[in-house]
Amino acid sequence: MNEERNLFLTQLYQLYYDALVLYCCRRLIGEPDAMGQAEQYVQEAFIRAAESYEELKSHPKIKGWLYKTVEHILHNEQAKNFRRSKMHSFSLDKEDAKQVPDAIDVIQAYVDHEDYHERMEKVYQVLNDNQLVLFEEHFQNERPLKEITKDQGLAMGT
């Protein structure tokens, strides 16, 4: 049974992988890394095919099922990316539109708050020496974290 399943999925992969990637690439024209995205979406479709093996082995139009699955994945990803871009976009017209607050502006507003010094004492109490250097470099000297971690010999995730 497992061998039959693997053979079935391998044949599907060999028959339709390239055509499905090409189909996705055509739909993703103008996107950065269209080929990488297309391959990712097609891989996801084959994962779903493996999960739906029982249904798919007796499906009358397997090719159509695969194309429709890729189309749904592509549509969902594009919709998700569109929603993300709307959340991160802002106007460059400073007079007429509200800007997304800069992290430094938010920190500066907090600094201006009267409880700032008390809270900063608490922050300094809980940070070790290495963390304190990172904190001061990033928030007070406005250096990018990537630059600071490189100087400190740390991984960015750290």
Mean pLDDT by 10 residues, the chain (158 residues): 87 92 87 86 91 89 93 88 66 54 60 66 76 76 79 73
The pTM of this model reads 0.53
Burial string for 6-42 (b: 16+ CB within 10 Å, else e) reads eebbeebbeebbeebbebbbebbeeeeebeebbbebb
The rounded distance, in Å, linking the Cα atoms of 11 and 123 is 60
* pLDDT (0 to 100) of residue 16: 92
Give the pLDDT of residue 25.
Answer: 87
Give all strands (DSSP E) within 3-101, no chain letters: none
Which residue in this structure is represented by tokens 């391959």? Answer: 39
CA-to-CA dists, residue 128 to 58, 117, 134, 151, angstroms:
63, 18, 10, 18
